[in-house]
Structure 1
């Protein structure tokens, strides 16, 4: 088995002595995996992400990227951030340049890349996020959804192997959520491993290969189909079960629909439409 892209081994962290946020965390993310991180507000999701990106140093345990233990020297952090990029929940905490092109170019410029390579990376990232037409627009004149996409484009321009998104769908309308999920699918297909946090259990079931539930300072990784129908596990994280696994159980009791596995409301609606009598 190849080395995990990111691995936490017995990691602990506290902002204040005697008040641990995370304790004994073990987590493995393999290349190509799609991991959703669930948990209550203040439960440690953002701290987990900051540790993964090198913005915080663990008080205990170790974090490894592509089989190499993270180093917290200037050179070590520079190397880590070329492989792991974190996009925070509020894009206004991440955007600071005068216009979109400058903001997306900031990371590659600071890597010391040649100007032409910076330009190509910037254009590719803008295109991947569907914001090429905004390249010369001031960032403060963008809508919230546009700012979200530009913030992600800035991370994508770094060509990370692992892209971590903290609540990327928060504040987006349904159409914005669908557009973002389509973009994440394209990034995943192109070879970027994506991890995101969300409070939307149904979105996690629909999108993720696996789910990490953060609760009580611990992290438990579960298969989406089983874990997101476990009321006890989700109640501990202040969440409710996903509807899709429960609907699957119900469909299995209907002979002509048994085995159907819709993962989104649109898929369920299409299934019921196709199953309806022709003389409806």
Structure 2
């Protein structure tokens, strides 16, 4: 059996010894699976990501890369960061170079790659994130959405197998969210495994194969429908229910096999029901 790309095994961590954040958290990130991570503010999502990417050292448990424990020496952490990259919620925490191309080139340059290889990676990453026209733009003049894309491009330029995004849609308008999700779909199809955290249960249901809920110091993982239809679990994580699982059950009761994940898909499913009236064509 192929091991996960990255795995948290019983992680324990506390910033304050009297208030542990994680008390035995386990999570497996499998190649090709789209995972959404949910949880309340302060529940440990970002801490879990930082532990997985070697930015924090656990007080207990271990992190495994391809089934092997990650060693915290320079060689071990370098290997980890060549395979997996974390993009933080606030892009200003990651952007520091004078312009976009310089910022995106930082990681590949630190790998000691030849200049031609660095240039190729930067160009490919900027193209993938649809910001090639911003290559020479000063980072401080970017919009928030452009900063988000630049931060993600910097991670993509490392060509990781695993891309972990902390609240990537936070602060974006609806159009920005749709554009970013389309880009993440492109990265997924190109072979990058994408994991993201979010507070948006409907976005998680629409996008993810599996959902992990981080609450009470531990992690529960299951198929998106199972987790996002569990009202009690979501309440424990201070989250509301997703609309799609309830709609699925209602449509099944009405004889429809449809499983809409977006409003457009819901409207299409409703239009297929017996006796349905097309939107905008009310009856007498």
Q: So what's the TM-score if we normalise by structure 2?
A: 0.95
Partners of 2:229 and 2:138 in 1: CA distance:
44
| Secondary structure in 1 matching 2:35 | strand
User: Which residue of the partner structure matches residue 272 of structure 1?
Assistant: 270
Partners of 1:209 and 1:31 in 2: CA distance:
12
User: Which residue of the partner structure matches residue 142 of structure 1?
Assistant: 142
Deviation at residue 274 of structure 1 after TM alignment? 4.9
Post-superposition CA distance 1:21-40 (Å, at most 9, x none): 10111211111111100000
| Secondary structure in 2 matching 1:72 | coil
Partners of 1:166 and 1:16 in 2: CA distance:
23
Post-superposition CA distance 1:17-63 (Å, at most 9, x none): 23211011121111111110000000000000000110001111111
Partners of 2:157 and 2:203 in 1: CA distance:
26
Deviation at residue 76 of structure 1 after TM alignment? 1.2
User: Which residue of the partner structure matches residue 76 of structure 2?
Assistant: 76
| Secondary structure in 1 matching 2:170 | coil
Partners of 2:82 and 2:197 in 1: CA distance:
21
Deviation at residue 270 of structure 1 after TM alignment? 2.6
Deviation at residue 235 of structure 1 after TM alignment? 0.2
Stretches of structure 2 that go unaligned for 5 or more consecutive residues are: none
1:211/1:222 contact within 8 Å kept:
yes
Partners of 2:50 and 2:94 in 1: CA distance:
14
Stretches of structure 1 that go unaligned for 5 or more consecutive residues are: none
User: Which residue of the partner structure matches residue 11 of structure 1?
Assistant: 11
| Secondary structure in 1 matching 2:167 | coil
Q: So what's the TM-score if we normalise by structure 1?
A: 0.97
User: Which residue of the partner structure matches residue 168 of structure 1?
Assistant: 168
Distance change in 2, residues 1:273/1:259 (3 Å): closer
| Secondary structure in 1 matching 2:14 | strand
Pairwise CA RMSD: 1.3
Deviation at residue 272 of structure 1 after TM alignment? 2.7
Partners of 1:27 and 1:90 in 2: CA distance:
24
User: Which residue of the partner structure matches residue 234 of structure 1?
Assistant: 234
User: Which residue of the partner structure matches residue 104 of structure 2?
Assistant: 104
User: Which residue of the partner structure matches residue 128 of structure 1?
Assistant: 128
Deviation at residue 269 of structure 1 after TM alignment? 1.9
| Secondary structure in 1 matching 2:169 | coil
1:70/1:80 contact within 8 Å kept:
yes
1:52/1:84 contact within 8 Å kept:
no
Deviation at residue 277 of structure 1 after TM alignment? 4.2
